Amino acid sequence: MITHQAYPGVDQYTEKQKRSVQRILDSLERAEERTGSHYKASRAHPRRLCHSVVEITVETLDGEKLTFNAYMGDVSSSGMSFVYPRELPSPDIIVGIPLGGSEKAFFNGEIVRMREFPGEEFIEYGVKFAGRLL
């Protein structure tokens, strides 16, 4: 995986960032427990909480492709969420989701939601899948 210093992977997070991610993921889980049944009927696909590490590839403004990893918050057959400490340069991404062992499923995705967490240095991204890559 090629990484760029400005786009750190989870193994490069500081202890403060690791604690922040855990607080955010816990907060997202509590919110889903409180509101999940309310939104369940309006969602086309059920969500599943999943705190796996996913691979994200994004293209910079100058055309360079950067790959890093991030923590996933939830996943459904139509999309997923992840948290990351930086704003991304493009809404178009490729997501690699672990299937078990070293296998991953790769999807084209579009960032359709960004939410900052006050007091934390992370953004939650909502991604809509545009198709699976072979």
Q: Is residue 116 helix, strand or coil?
A: strand
State the DSSP string of 36-94. HHHHHTT-SS--EE---EEEEEEE-TTS-EEEEEEEEEEE-SSEEEEEESS--S-SEEE
The string of pLDDT tens digits covering residues 65-113 is: 999 999 998 888 889 999 999 999 999 999 999 988 889 999 999 999 9
By DSSP bridging, strand 65-75 and strand 53-59 are: antiparallel
pLDDT of 125 reads 96
1: pLDDT confidence band, cut at 50, 70 and 90?
very low
* Residue 19 falls inside a structural domain: yes
Is residue 3 situated within a structural domain? no
Task: Give per-residue pLDDT as tens, 25-64.
Answer: 888 888 767 665 555 555 455 556 677 899 999 998 888 8
- The closest alpha carbon to 126, from 94, 80, 88, 92, belongs to 80
Reduced to 3 states (helix: H, G, I; strand: E, B; else coil), residue 31 is helix
Residue 129 placed within a domain:
yes
CATH number for the domain including 117?
Answer: 2.40.10.220
User: Domain span at residue 58?
Assistant: 10-133
Number of domains in the chain: 1
Alpha-carbon distance of 118 to 110, in angstroms, equals: 24
- Higher model confidence: residue 3 or residue 121? 121
Asked if the model's pLDDT at residue 6 lies above 60, the reply is yes
Tens-digit pLDDT profile for residues 117-131 = 888 889 999 999 999
pLDDT for residue 40: 53
C-alpha pair distances (Å), 39 with each of 36, 53, 110, 124: 5, 26, 22, 19
Q: Residue 55: its pLDDT value, please?
A: 95
**pLDDT of the residue at 70:** 96
Torsion of CA 104, 109, 114, 120, to 10 degrees: 20
The residue among 20 and 5 whose pLDDT is bigger is 20
